[in-house]
């Protein structure tokens, strides 16, 4: 096993080790006001939407997790099957490993083979060259491309990058890649300045990926002989990052600590176009099986439609207009960033 593949498998193991099903986060500090007289009914049609030109059953999806090792092949095979059966989108983990280890392609390609017609999103790092990125997109027949920004993770990673001059390459990607590009954090939140800078550079879709879920500083610190645990708490909460994106008037995905259908609903109410779930779904798969994950996603679809009904909503497009308020601790962060 190569160093890169070993790291991929360690990430899966440590994500499982540090997973907390009921971990408190910023979603708990958001309160959506519900009408006592909703005048609605539960209808699964209210949550159907389109994603990159394809119809999907719900606005939430399986967000980026893994690829590039023997175990990730098994995981992505199962996730591809679940995505096909539930008709939701699937984003793969970073495929940048393929630039140096093309033999790992099968661990990514298996997801497309299991879900040939569904929405599949490829993922690369910010230094991947356009020709490399296009090759990955073509090989996976990807509908969109996530480009992750993970400076904190790289610093905490013992073998990580130390050069974060990414903007020129991002601009080059924007000019040469034809599929939609999603700029994504990895659990530390996109800040207003970065969103503004990238908006001016022509990017219009972001995944805020705030703190509150998987903590890659904690994961990498567990692999690092040095103690960099002080990095564990430097992330921007998911809700604050989502509201920062909303202020910039860009389209954005809410992810980072999504635990249940109510968190999905709140993410949509914050203005998110879609909501991504990673470790929550991964642990359902690892601790149970793909059938359990599939049933859970089907239940989430039903429960999300139920939430729209009890909040008096007939479509996804109106959710951002629902009145809401925030706990003082979160409100203070929102007002200062």
Average pLDDT of the chain, as a whole number: 96
Selection from 132, 114, 81 nearest residue 123 by Cα? 132
132: tokens are 């490399």
Q: How confident is the model at residue 18 (pLDDT cuts 50, 70, 90)?
A: confident
Q: Does 1 score more than 80 pLDDT?
A: no
Q: Measure the CA–CA gap between 151 and 220, rounded to whole angstroms.
A: 12
Look-up of token digits 């992330």:
235
Q: Does 20 score more than 90 pLDDT?
A: no
Q: Which residues of 314-327 are buried (b: 16+ CB within 10 A; e: fewer)?
A: eebeebeebeeebe
Q: How confident is the model at residue 281 (pLDDT cuts 50, 70, 90)?
A: very high
Q: What pTM was estimated for this model as a whole?
A: 0.96
Q: Measure the CA–CA gap between 190 and 37, rounded to whole angstroms.
A: 37
- pLDDT tens, residue by residue, 236-250: 999 999 999 999 999
Report, as an integer, the average pLDDT of 140-144: 98
- pLDDT tens, residue by residue, 88-132: 999 999 999 999 999 999 999 999 999 999 999 999 999 999 999
The reported pLDDT for the residue numbered 6 is 87
Q: How far apart are the first and last CA of the chain?
A: 44
Residue 298: how many CB atoms within 10 A of its CB? 16
The reported pLDDT for the residue numbered 23 is 86
Sign of CA dihedral 101, 9, 291, 22: negative
Cβ burial of 37 (10 Å; 0-12, 13-18, 19+) is: exposed
297: tokens are 């996603």
- pLDDT tens, residue by residue, 67-79: 999 999 999 999 9
Q: Does 334 score more than 80 pLDDT?
A: yes
């Amino acid at each position: 096993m190569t160093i890169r593949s070993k790291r991929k498998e360690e990430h899966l193991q440590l994500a499982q080790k540090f997973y907390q099903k009921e971990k408190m986060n910023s979603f708990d500090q958001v309160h959506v006001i519900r009408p006592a007289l909703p005048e609605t009914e539960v209808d699964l049609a209210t949550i159907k939407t389109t994603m990159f030109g394809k119809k999907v059953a719900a606005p939430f999806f399986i967000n980026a997790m893994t690829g590039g090792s023997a175990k990730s092949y098994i995981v992505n095979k199962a996730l591809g099957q679940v995505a096909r059966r539930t008709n939701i989108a699937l984003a793969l983990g970073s495929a940048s490993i393929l630039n140096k280890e093309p033999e790992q392609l099968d661990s990514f390609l298996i997801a497309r083979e299991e879900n040939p017609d569904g929405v599949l999103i490829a993922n690369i790092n910010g230094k991947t060259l356009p020709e490399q990125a296009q090759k990955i997109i073509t090989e996976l027949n990807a509908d969109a491309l996530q480009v992750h920004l993970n400076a904190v993770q790289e610093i905490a990673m013992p073998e990580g990058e130390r050069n974060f001059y990414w903007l020129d390459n991002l601009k080059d990607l924007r000019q040469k890649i034809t599929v939609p590009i999603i700029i994504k954090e990895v659990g530390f939140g996109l800040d207003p300045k970065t969103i503004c800078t990238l908006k001016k550079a022509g990017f219009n879709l972001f995944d805020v990926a705030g703190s509150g879920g998987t903590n890659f500083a904690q994961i990498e610190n567990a692999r690092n002989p040095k103690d960099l645990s002080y990095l564990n708490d430097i992330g921007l909460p998911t809700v604050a990052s989502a509201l920062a994106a909303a202020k910039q008037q860009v389209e954005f995905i809410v992810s980072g600590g999504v635990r249940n259908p109510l968190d999905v609903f709140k993410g949509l109410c914050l203005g998110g176009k879609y909501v991504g779930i990673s470790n929550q779904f991964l642990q359902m798969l690892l601790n149970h099986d793909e059938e359990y994950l599939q049933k859970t996603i089907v239940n989430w679809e039903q429960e999300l439609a139920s939430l729209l009904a009890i909040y008096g909503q007939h479509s996804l497009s109106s959710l951002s207009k629902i009145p809401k308020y925030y706990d003082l601790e979160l409100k203070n962060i929102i007002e200062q960033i």
